[in-house]
Amino acid sequence: MAPSFVVLFKLNSIKRNSSLSGATNESINVFTENFSSLMAAKAATLRWIVQLHKDVPKAARFYSDGLGFTVNVCTLKWAELQSGPLTIALMQAPKDLAAQKSNNSFLSFTVPDLNNTITRLISMGAELDGSIKYEIHGKVAAVRCLDGHMLGLYEPA
């Protein structure tokens, strides 16, 4: 996106420069739109974040009931959950990985009530990882979900 910004900045400067001959506002606007589209087409977009879980439906309930995600799809081997624009996919872990409790993803969530969220997640099998920290900007805590994924929780002050 930086090249797009530089070109657009220069084009906007050119538009204001009356000494430029042969370049109309219309032609500059067309070039700007085409260049922006070209830059956007080359950028990758995040489709979803995938986590491995040994029990996909149980993990889907954890995110749905514990954090309020919407379940779009849920089978024994695959689930898709939505929170705003974010989609998390849960996939059944291969049997040789299912025994590990140290999956290494770390997702961070802003929650309206940290204490109630932690209580709800612990009742569903999560483990608090350390203590709740009371910072100037708000409360912060981390929990491990059923399969060991770390979840950061933040309640703004």
Per-residue 3-state assignment (H helix, E strand, C coil) for 2-19? HHHHHHHHHHHHHHHCCC
- pLDDT at position 20 over 50: no
Q: Domain spanning 49-156 has what CATH number?
A: 3.10.180.10
Give the pLDDT score at 105: 80
Residue 94 DSSP code: P
Q: What is the pLDDT of residue 148?
A: 86
pLDDT(72) > 50: yes
Asked which of 9-23, 32-46, 92-106 is least confident by mean pLDDT, the reply is: 9-23
Confidence check: pLDDT of 64 > 80:
yes
**C-alpha gyration radius of the chain:** 23
More confident residue, 112 or 6: 112
**What's the pLDDT score for residue 47?**
75
Kindly report which listed range (17-21, 29-33, 41-45) carries the lowest average pLDDT score: 17-21
Distance CA 89, CA 74 (A): 10
Whether the Cβ atoms of residue 28 and residue 36 lie closer than 8 Å to each other: no
Q: For residue 95, what pLDDT is reported?
A: 79
The three-state secondary structure class of 84 is: coil
Average pLDDT, the chain: 78
pTM, full prediction? 0.64
Cβ within 8 Å of residue 94, ≥6 positions away? 52
